[in-house]
A and B are shown apart, each in its own frame.
Chain A
Amino acid sequence: MNARLADPAWRATAVTGALLLAALVLALVARGEGLRVAAVGLAVGALPVVALVLGPRAVERLRSAEGRSTLLAIPVALVALLLLVLARLDGRRPVLLGTVALLGAAAGVVLIGSELRQRTARAGDSAERSPWQRMTAVERVRALPWQAGAGALLVGWSALLGVGTASPYLAGTGVAWAGLLVVLIGLGALVLVLVPLVVGAAASGDRDRIARAREDERLRVAAHLHDSVLQTLALVQRQAGDPAAVARLARSQERALRAWMAGEAELNAATLAGALHQAVEEVEHEERFDVDVTVLGDRPLDEPGRALVAAAREALRNAARHARGRAVVVFAELSERGAAVWVRDEGDGFELERVPAERRGVRDAIVGRMAGAGGEATVDSRPGEGTEVALRLGDAIDGEDQA
C-alpha cells in the first residue's frame, strides 16, 4: 500500500477517480441547475489531471506488453459511460435506473467471473493470466472471496433495482412481459461481460507465444554472449601484457557485437554483405591491421558473389602489405542487380607498367577471378597516391560510379 501511495500516478488516479465519482453522484441526484453546473465543473476539473499525469503514463503502459489488456478497459469504460449519458439525456427516471441496474449486474458478473478464474487458475504463472485478470489486477489470490461476494451483492442489488423500477409498468401486463424484461437485462449484462472475454481469448493465444519467444530470445542472447564476448574477455585477460593484441581483440569483438545487434550476424552465411564483413575481419586478424568498412545494401550470396569476396580478400591482403599503418577503406554498394566493392589503401602506390611479374600474378588472381565470375576488376594506382582496387558484378559494371 505504501508503495502505491508513493506513486504519483496512483495518487492522481485516486484523486481523479474520487472527483469523477463525486461528479457522477452529483449529476445523478442534482435537481437544481447550479448543482449540475458544479458537477460538470468537477468533472472538467478532473480532466487536466488525466491529461497531465495519467496521459503519458497511459501511453507508456499501452506500449508495454501489458498494454493490450489495458486497451480492453477503454471500450468497456466508454460503453458504460455512453449508456449512462444516453439514459441521463433520455430524462426518464426509470430508464436511468434501469441502465444503472444493467451496469451494476454486469460489474457483478465480471467480479464473480474474475474470482472464479483466479481460483481455478491459482497455480498458473502470470503469463497464463487473462487480460481480465490483469485488468482486475489482484496479484495474490486472497483467502476471502471478497470479489465474488461483492459481485453477488451487486447482482442482487441490481436485480432488486431493476425489478423495482420495472414493476409499476408490469403491474397489468402479466408474467410474459416481466420475463422478457428479465431476459433482456440478463442478455445485456452477458454481452457486456462476454465481449471483452472474447477479445481477451483472441489475445491470449499470442500471449503464450510471446512468453515462449521471450525465453527463447533470452537463451539465444545468453548463448551468443557466451560464445563471443565472454571468450574475448578471457582472451583479453590472457594477453593483458600485449596492448596491440588487446586492442585488436576489442576491435573485432566490437565489430562482431555491433553486426549482431544490427541483425547481420545471422545472415552471414547467406548474404554477400555478411561474407564481406567476415572476410575483412579475417584479413584484419591475419595481417594485424585495421580496415574501415562500410557496406550499403545486400544481396544473397551466390557463386559470383563468392568470387567477389575472394577477390576482395586478395585485394585486402595486398592493401595490408602496401599500407602498413596507413588507412585502408572498404566501401561496397550491393543490390539485387549488381555489386561493387572498392578496396583502397593510402600506401605508396605504384606504376602499373612497372609491376614485377610476381606481383602481377597476385593482381591477375584478382582480375582473373572476377572475369571468371562474369565480373570485372580494375586496379588504379599511381606512385605516392595509394592504390584502389574496384570489383564489380552485374549492373555495377557499367555503372555511373566508375572512377
Chain B
Amino acid sequence: MSEAQQPAGRDRPVVVIVDDHHLFRAGVRAELAEACDVVGEAATPQEAIAVIGATSPDVVLLDVHLPDGGGLAVLEAFRAVVDAPAFLALSVSDAADDVVPMVRAGARGYVTKTIDTPALLDAIARVRDGEPYFSPRLAAFVLQAFSAGPDQQADDELDQLTPREREVLHHLARGYPYKRIAQRLGISPRTVETHVGSVLRKLQLSSRHELSHWAATRGLVGREG
C-alpha cells in the first residue's frame, strides 16, 4: 500500500473496466485517469470478451456480479488464452464464496469496491507485473480454506500450505505489507512474493476445497442456508 507511488517511473498500465453499473465505471475511470490509461469499458461478459480482445489491456478490473454468468464467465473465456490480461476482481460483496471462486478461476487479486484510490493503483500495478494481490480479507479467506479440520489428512501437497506460506498469509491477513513481512520473517521481499504466488497456484489447482465447505466453516454457530 505504501508502494503506490513507485510505478510512476514505468509506463502507465492499460486498463479495461468491466462492471454493470455505469456510475461505478465512470467513477473508477475518473479515479484511475491520473495513473492509468482506461481504454475500454464493458457491462456484460459478452461485451467484456469483445472489448478485451479488441484492446488487449494489461489489467482488467472485473466485477464479480455481472448479468449472464458473472465475472466467472469472463475468466472462463480467457482461461486458456496465453497472453491474457491480468484480472483483478472487484466486488461489493465480502463473502468468501463470492471471492474465492473468482481467484480459483484465474483472477490474480481481489479488492472490495470501497478500496481507496492509492490502494487500487497499487493493486493494479501489482497484478500488471504478474504478482498476486491479496487484500487482508482475501488472505484471511484463503487461510481459512486451507485450514480444514486437523483430522482431515491432506492427501496431496497441493491441498496444504507449507508453514512458511501459512505464516506469510497470516501476516497479509493482519495487514502487513510485503516489505514488512520480509523483514519480520528474515527473508527477501522477492521470496514473500514467491510464497504468495505459490499459495495462489495451490488455490487454483487444488480440488479438495469444495466451495460449499467454505460456507459451512464460516461460523461454528449453526447458521441456516
Contact = CB atoms under 8 A, between A and B. Distances in A.
Contacts of A115: none
Nearest to B137: A294
**5 tightest CB-CB pairs across the interface, nearest first?**
A329-B175, A294-B140, A342-B174, A298-B219, A294-B137
Contact of A327 (B1, B94, B219, B220): B1
A331 to B, nearest CB: 5
A112 B146 CA distance: 61
Given A297-B144, A297-B219, A386-B180, 11 more contacts: A262-B95, A263-B223, A292-B136, A292-B137, A296-B144, A296-B218, A327-B175, A331-B136, A331-B174, A346-B2, A403-B171
A329 B136 contact: yes
Interface in A270-328: 270-271, 273, 292, 294, 296-300, 327-328
Contacts of A335: 220
Nearest to A267: B221
B225 A263 contact: yes
Contacts of A300: 221
Contacts of A400: 163, 166
16 contacts: A267-B221, A270-B221, A271-B219, A271-B221, A273-B219, A292-B175, A294-B136, A297-B144, A297-B217, A298-B219, A298-B220, A331-B175, A344-B174, A344-B175, A400-B163, A401-B167
A385 interface: yes
Interface of A: 251, 254, 258, 262-264, 267, 270-271, 273, 292, 294, 296-300, 327-329, 331, 334-336, 342, 344, 346, 385-386, 388, 400-401, 403
B21 to A, nearest CB: 15
B176 interface: yes
A299 B95 CA distance: 19
A273 B219 CA distance: 9
Interface residues of B, number: 31
Contact of A331 (B95, B166, B173, B221): B173
Interface in B118-141: 136-137, 140-141
A346 B175 contact: yes
A244 to B, nearest CB: 14
Which of B2, B174, B217, B223 has the most A CB atoms < 10 Å from its CB? B174
Contact of B140 (A254, A296, A336): A296
B113 to A, nearest CB: 10
A83 to B, nearest CB: 41
Contacts of A264: 219
Contacts of B220: 297-299, 334-336
A304 B17 CA distance: 47
